[in-house]
Chains A and B, each alone.
Chain A
Amino acid sequence: MPLESQEEKKPKKKALKKTTGIVKKTTPKPRKTTAPRKKRVALPKKPLIENISELNIEESKYFAGPVIQKFEEERSFEFPAGYGDNRIILLIRDPYWLYSYWEISDGRRNELKKEIGEGEFFRSKEILRVYDTGNWEYFDVDLGYAARCWYVHVPTANRTYCVEIGYLTPSGKFFSAARSNWVKTPLDRMSDEIDEEWMIPDWNMMYALSGGFGSGKSSQEVHELMKSRMKEELSSGWVSSLSSPANKPIERPFWLVANCELIVYGATEPSATVTVQGRKIDLKEDGSFSLRFSLPDGQQVIPIEAIRDDGQERRNITPTVERKTK
């Protein structure tokens, strides 16, 4: 089901009220401001590119296609810092991590400034309030300065969460600037729900077989095995190798490679027949020839013979080359 429609089911106003209500009477369990989190102060993005000049060089090489117009690539475009929207989006990374990005519009910020009072507003902290929508318990994430997105660690898998971006005043009052969509994190183990029509005596065994872990493991063991299994790279990681120009397989220490090739060249009458090591070769129009050989260790005897087109005369030259690699 599209996540947005879940949100629609619950009128925002009511939800907000309920939230504050709960907060007053309970000590919210998952209120871990110190929840392990990946700190991420997202400053405006620097392009991940260093050698963008390479692209420019390439782009400068146009050929005349049907409707090619230069303005298209020359027009500079930067990803906008914002769209003037007031909204916050929540995405699932895995059963225990969410990702949120947001934008607070100037209008909304000013509104809140007015509501909170300017002095109080500047002493407020920008926070992310993370709700478990099942019980509306929440915890706060202190965002520091100028964050635009955050990875949020959540304590329980298979729960529905939403977040609010807003300001927490020194007196502990929270003013929300925007509320996100709802997301439900996945289960990280077998469901507790069992369909009577589809029962089996040994679920653990089925789980182990499906995971390819063999039999005779405890449910905790198979659960751990599944977790480590998912960290194995069993999918398209290798595709990076498609980018052939840049493939660097192993970090090498200082290194050296050297090989030898031998060029055998010469010339004769253009109409003559030339063989090198008994093999007939093609001459260029002016009667010259040039052969290139990868030269292995050992001795190479290279008889070269030219025969005049009437077959009446021949010339022989036989160089001998030896390669020794130490």
Chain B
Amino acid sequence: MEKGYLSLVLHAHLPFVRHPEHEEFLEEDWLFEAITETYIPLLKVFDRLLNDGVDFRLTMSITPTLGSMLMDPLLQDRYIKHLESLIELSYKEIERTAWQKELNDLAKMYNYIFIDSREIFVNKYGKNLINAFKKFQDLGKLEIITCGATHGFLPLMEINPNAVRAQVKIAADHYEKMFGRRPNGIWLPECGYSPGQDEFLKEAGIRYFFTDTHGILHGTPRPKYGIFAPVYCKSGVAAFGRDIESSKAVWSSVEGYPGDYNYREFYRDAGFDLDFDYIKPYIHKDGIRVSTGIKYFKITGRVDLAFKQPYNRPAAMEKAAEHAGNFMYNRQQQAEHLYDFMGKKPMVVSPYDAELFGHWWYEGPDWLEFLFRKLHFDQDTVKLITPSEYLLMNPKNQVVSPSFSSWGYKGYSEFWLNETNDWIYRYMHKAADRMVELANKYPSADGLLRRALNQAARELLLAQSSDWAFIFKTGTCAPYAFKRTKDHIERFTRIYDEILSNSINENGLSDIEYRDNIFPEIDYRVYI
């Protein structure tokens, strides 16, 4: 009989990056890399587990922006083109590395992976990976949850409650369109919670969300079971707190598994390493070197990139299995200890970014597979569970108001509110107020006016993505984040002015609709 539960949560998210106006667009690679390195590998893991009769449970958020991109025909076709190019490169690499067996084995591995990815993407799932994830949800192995419509950081938005409501409601509706049922749970963008948000979740029919550890621990009144049992907000929506021990094991750059010297080095990539003339057809067409995903080296140690040693796949697999065993052992210890202390079965919630698995930590999906297999075959102390299953079995929980919190640096808003990005909120808030103003002024628009109002809502939502503030802070590709913030505020403002002056330019509107085509079924009246 089990002593405790483990709920693994993967948060899959990418901002909406889709530029039909350009033939090729650098930042669209974010999606393509994540498909090849994270989403398809995860699906392969699920399929193998299914075939081998390994029962598993995983909770996964697929954000509305990511879901929209995965279902978008333009991006689907661009991904196939991207893969074709990689397949061609990998053939050349097999030839080029013929005199170095270590590298040659890897070139063959990449060639196989790219070809297999094409097979899975095109033939197995008809270019639409949402179908693939849905399949595992329908089988009861995967619980897919939603997120903010465009991953807006809600605590910095709530000055206009309608803006928060819209992020939640549009997300839940979009989820229903993708998966044919309402979402049970939500991953709040950046785990950002502030008291009162649960009311909007409740309105949208959402039953639970997650907070960072201190969100529950610093809740009022004191949570009897700490983070090892969910609590109910006064609204009746449940909140699950993040477990730190298991988070650290994977997240920490110091103690975490992904830093093991045997694992693949992220920063050494053929796109940067190889002779320019040779690699030119496979990088950005303006000659900007980019990652290709063909990486030959392991982390090796704390050495300069130039001194990295060749990656040894079997050795890395050994490590992944060892780390999975270590993770399981620690969860067993934790469960037994907590069970004695609490007098009931603890719930341990371990959330991670999905793209951490595979894209950053190349062996992440393998680790996950080893972990699922070990948990299934080797023990019965810890049982995998989804939050929905837990609530069904444990309907009685303490009522606690969680505290304002996020999983960002220092635990609150600072990552999204600092010298690099604080200037955006003036414009975000104004746009949200204007959207509410428009919606109330034209509560039953149709025709062109309705289209304009709906597009205004899309522009507002896209501007609100926390990714832009995030990128300003990290510094990498700030120009793109700036462009996006500016584009969406500009487009919003233009539509706003045109609506109020009763001079909607239909051509201009069509152009914006064509560019920012997210949420085709949006209804601006959510802002009333």
Which residues of A approach B to under 8 Å, CB–CB?
Answer: 1-4, 40, 42, 45, 47-52, 54-55, 57-59, 61-63, 65-69, 71-73, 75, 77, 79, 83, 85, 89, 91-95, 97, 99, 101, 103, 149, 181, 184-191, 193-195, 197-200, 203, 205-207, 209-212, 226, 229-247, 249-250, 252, 255-257, 261, 277, 279, 291-296, 300
Contacts and interface: CB of A to CB of B under 8 A. Distances in A.
B306 interface: yes
Contacts of A207: 217, 226
Nearest to B491: A72
Given A77-B490, A239-B470, A261-B275, A230 B156 contact: no
Interface in B211-229: 213-214, 216-228
A238 B284 CA distance: 23
A212 B243 contact: yes
Given A94-B411, A230-B411, A241 B253 contact: no
Given A79-B486, A232-B252, A206 B356 contact: no
A92 B221 contact: no
Given A54-B479, A72-B512, A247-B476, A194 B221 contact: yes
B221 A209 contact: no
A219 to B, nearest CB: 12
Contact of A1 (B195, B221, B430): B195
A277 B235 CA distance: 74
A223 B155 CA distance: 24
Contacts of A4: 159, 161
6 contacts: A89-B159, A93-B417, A97-B414, A245-B26, A246-B477, A257-B306
A101 B426 contact: yes
Given A92-B155, A240-B475, A293 B98 contact: yes
B218 A49 contact: no
B218 A92 contact: no
The 10 tightest CB contacts between A and B, nearest first, are A210-B226, A230-B411, A240-B474, A186-B404, A212-B244, A94-B412, A198-B224, A77-B490, A212-B245, A244-B291
Contacts of A49: 478-479, 482
Contact of B413 (A57, A94, A197): A94
Contact of B508 (A55, A71, A186): A71
Nearest to A247: B267
B222 A65 contact: no
A242 B359 contact: yes
B430 A83 contact: yes
B410 A230 contact: yes
Given A91-B413, A101-B425, A257-B306, A293 B222 contact: no
Contact of A211 (B100, B213, B269): B213
A244 B33 contact: yes
Interface of B: 14, 20-23, 25-27, 29-30, 33-34, 92, 95-100, 103, 155-156, 158-159, 161, 190-191, 194-196, 199, 213-214, 216-228, 241, 243-245, 247-248, 251-253, 266-267, 269, 271, 275, 278, 284, 286, 288-291, 304-306, 337-338, 341, 353, 355-356, 359-360, 398-399, 403-405, 407-414, 417-420, 422-423, 425-427, 429-430, 470-472, 474-480, 482-483, 486, 489-490, 493, 507-508, 510-512, 514-515
Contacts of A72: 508, 511-512, 515
B173 to A, nearest CB: 21
Contacts of B427: 79
A296 B398 CA distance: 66
Contacts of A66: 510, 514
Contact of B100 (A188, A203, A296): A296
Given A199-B224, A210-B228, A186 B405 contact: yes
Contacts of A185: 404
Contacts of A242: 14, 30, 33-34, 355, 359
Nearest to A209: B226
B507 A292 contact: no
Nearest to A195: B221
Given A61-B23, A191-B222, A209-B226, A231 B425 contact: no
A48 B190 contact: no
A4 B433 CA distance: 13
A210 B275 CA distance: 51
Contact of B356 (A42, A238, A243): A238
A246 B34 CA distance: 17
A3 B286 CA distance: 49
A191 B245 CA distance: 23
Given A2-B158, A47-B482, A191 B221 contact: yes
Contacts of A149: 422-423, 426
B286 to A, nearest CB: 8
Given A48-B482, A62-B21, A295-B99, A249 B477 contact: no
A294 B96 contact: yes
Given A69-B507, A92-B412, A293-B98, A243 B477 contact: yes
A92 B98 CA distance: 59
The winner among B405, B479, B486 for most chain A CB atoms within 10 A is B479
A230 B214 contact: yes
A277 B95 CA distance: 12
Nearest to A188: B218
B288 A245 contact: yes
Contacts of A181: 159
A139 to B, nearest CB: 21
Contacts of A99: 417, 422
Contact of B158 (A3, A45, A47, A296): A3
Contacts of A250: 304-305
B268 to A, nearest CB: 9
A296 B341 CA distance: 60
Contacts of B97: 293-294
Contacts of B353: 235-236, 238-239
The winner among B226, B407, B419, B429 for most chain A CB atoms within 10 A is B226
Contact of A235 (B191, B288, B426): B191
B409 A212 contact: no
B46 to A, nearest CB: 23
A77 B214 CA distance: 42
A58 B22 contact: yes
Contacts of B404: 92, 184-186
Nearest to B161: A2
A291 B93 CA distance: 11
A27 B356 CA distance: 53
Contacts of A68: 21, 511, 514
